[in-house]
Amino acid sequence: MTKKADIGVTGLAVMGRNLARNLARRGHTVALHNRSESRTRELIEQFGDEGDFAPAYSAREFVDALERPRKLVVMVKAGGPTDAVIEEFAPLLDEGDVIVDAGNAHFADTRRREAALRERGLHFVGTGVSGGEEGALHGPSIMPGGSAESYESLGPLLESIAAHVDGEPCCTHIGADGAGHFVKMVHNGIEYSDMQLIAESYDLLRGALGYEPAQIADVFRTWNAGRLESYLIEITAEVLGHTDAATGRPFVDVVADEAEQKGTGRWTVQIGLDLGEPITGIAEATFARSLSGHADLRSAAHGLAGPTRAPLSGADAERFADDVEQALYASKVVAYAQGFNQILAGAAEYGWDIDLGKVAAIWRGGCIIRARFLDDIRAAYADEADLPTLLTSGGFRKAVEDAQDSWRSVVQTAVRLGIPTPGFSTALAYYDALRADRLPAALVQGQRDFFGAHTYRRVDSGGVFHTEWAADGRPEHPA
C-alpha cells in the first residue's frame, strides 16, 4: 500500500509548481495534477528528486492519491477557471475534505464558493500567497481564510512551507470564509501605495537634485540600512542600479513609463469606496498607474504650462535627500494605517475576527511588503489591540511628528518644481484632515441642504435639520 499524499496541487504553472516543490522539500508527500499531463511529467523529470511526489493523470487518480481529510490546492487563473476546477473535483470528494484556492481570487468569489461548498459538506479555503514565484518556492507569506476546522489539518502544512521570522511562520488563520483573500487584497493595495511612494522618492531625487539612477540606487541602499529596510526598497536599489545590456543606458530610462496592474489594487479601492474607508494612498497609487497609461492624453497635455525645473542647490540640496527619507517614512505610516483600517472595516462588515497584530506579524517575511517596519506595526497592535489608527500609536506618532517639517518641505518643493507627488501629497492631506479641529465638510452639508434638502446635523443640538432656503428669513427646523 503506497503512502497516501498529505496534500495535492492541481495547476502546475510556475506558482503551483513551486508550491508543490516547496511542500515536497519540507518532507510532505505531494500529489500532482495538471490539465495537460505534460506539465506533471515535466515537474517529475526536473524536480522529482526533491521529495515524495505522487503524479496523477486524471481527477479520480489525483483524489484517490490523497489521505483523508483530503487537501487539494488549486492554482489556476482566478474567476471561471477556478470555478471549473472546483466543479471537476467537488463531486469526487467526501465530507470534510478541503479545497484550497491559492490564487489572487476576489474575496467575494471566495465567500460565495465557501458557502456553496459548505452546503456540500466540503471546506473551501481561499488563501492569499504573497512573495511571487520565489516566495512560493522558498517561503511565502500565507493568508488562509476558511473554517477553523479546515485549518486544523491544513494549517500545519502551510506553516511548514511559509517564510519564518524569529522562528515564527508567516502564516496564520486570518478568519472565516473570504477573510484570507480580503487581507491579501489589502496587502496588494498597500503594496501599490508603497511602490508609488518609492517611485515618487526616486522622481524627486532625480528631478530636484539632478541625481542619476545609479546615485539614487546608492541613496536607497543607505535607506535600506535603516528604518525603511524592506524588500521593496532593496529591489528598488537593484532596479535603479541596473544598466540596460542592449543600450548601456540606465535600465529605468529604457522602460516605458506606463505602469500596468492585474487588478488587486483596483479591488482594494473599490471595496474601500463601498466601506467608506478613505484609503487615499492606495487610491492615488492606483490612479497614478492608470494615468501613466493614458499615452494619448499625456502627449496632448505635454506642452501645458508649468514651472522651470531648476535643481536645488546649496543647503537645500544638502538636506533634500534626508527630507525625502522623512517624507517617505511618514507617508508610508499613513498608507499602512489606512490599509490596516480597511482590514478592520472589512472584518466589521463581514463578521470576521481578524487580529491585526497577527496580520502584521505574518507580513514580516515572505511577502512583497515584507519589512522591519511591520515588526513595529505588530508591536503597536500588541500594545493597543483597539488602536484607532497607527498614527496615534507611540512610536509612529513621534516619528511622524519629527518628520513634519521635512514632509511639508518636500511636498512644497515638489509643487514648486512641478514634480507630481500624489502619494506624498495625499498622505499629508489625510494626516492634516484627520487631525483638523473643523473640516470644510460643514460647508458641503450646507450646499447639499441648499440644492437638495438633504438635511444636516448641528454642533449645538441633536437631530437632523433643514433650512428653508427659498423662504424669508430662511428658517431652520428639525427635518
Binding interface with ligand 6PG (CB under 6 A): 104, 130-132, 188, 191, 261-262, 264-265, 367-368
Q: Is 95 a catalytic residue?
A: no
Question: By C-beta, is 163 or 410 nearer to ligand 6PG?
Answer: 163
Cα–Cα dist 381/360, whole Å: 9
CB neighbours of residue 115 within 10 Å: 12
Query: Of these residues, 114, 159, 191, 284, which one is catalytic?
Result: 191
Question: By C-beta, is 147 or 261 nearer to ligand 6PG?
Answer: 261
Encoded amino acid at 393, one letter: S
Cis peptide before 278 (omega within 30 of 0): no
Cα–Cα dist 285/290, whole Å: 9
- Smallest gap from residue 436 Cβ to ligand 6PG (A): 33
Rg for the chain (alpha carbons), in Å? Answer: 26
Spatial CB neighbours of 343, under 8 Å, sequence gap ≥ 6: 182, 183, 186, 354, 356, 359
C-alpha cell at 419: 514634480
Question: By C-beta, is 171 or 219 nearer to ligand 6PG?
Answer: 171
Q: Is 184 a catalytic residue?
A: yes
Q: Which burial class, exposed, middle or buried, applies to 336 when counting CB atoms under 10 A from its CB (0-12, 13-18, 19+)?
A: buried
- Smallest gap from residue 423 Cβ to ligand 6PG (A): 15
Q: What is the DSSP string of 11-46?
A: --SHHHHHHHHHHHHTT-EEEEE-SSHHHHHHHHHH
Please give the residue whose beta carbon sits closest to ligand 6PG in the complex: 130
Nearest to 426 by CA among 206, 312, 267, 272: 272
Q: Is 351 left (phi over 0), alpha (psi -120 to 50) or beta?
A: left
Q: Please, are residues 72 and 94 in contact by the beta-carbon 8 Å criterion? A: no
Q: Which burial class, exposed, middle or buried, applies to 286 when counting CB atoms under 10 A from its CB (0-12, 13-18, 19+)?
A: buried
- Smallest gap from residue 134 Cβ to ligand 6PG (A): 9
- Smallest gap from residue 289 Cβ to ligand 6PG (A): 8
- Smallest gap from residue 264 Cβ to ligand 6PG (A): 5
- Smallest gap from residue 238 Cβ to ligand 6PG (A): 16
Query: Of these residues, 184, 200, 284, 325, which one is catalytic?
Result: 184
CA geometry: angle at 321 spanning 208 and 205, to 5°? Answer: 35
- Smallest gap from residue 121 Cβ to ligand 6PG (A): 31
Q: Which residue reads 427659498 in cell numbers?
A: 470
Q: Which residue reads 536599489 in cell numbers?
A: 237
Cα-Cα end-to-end distance for the chain: 77
What are the residue ranges of helices labelled H in 210-366?
A: 213-223, 231-241, 251-254, 264-275, 280-292, 295-301, 314-350, 356-362
Question: By C-beta, is 16 or 265 nearer to ligand 6PG?
Answer: 265
Nearest to 388 by CA among 338, 327, 449: 338
Question: By C-beta, is 155 or 265 nearer to ligand 6PG?
Answer: 265
Question: By C-beta, is 196 or 338 nearer to ligand 6PG?
Answer: 196
Indicate the DSSP class of residue 312.
Answer: P
Question: By C-beta, is 104 or 413 nearer to ligand 6PG?
Answer: 104
- Smallest gap from residue 233 Cβ to ligand 6PG (A): 16
- Smallest gap from residue 234 Cβ to ligand 6PG (A): 15
Q: Please, are residues 399 and 380 in contact by the beta-carbon 8 Å criterion? A: no
Question: What is the set of active-site residues?
Answer: 184, 191
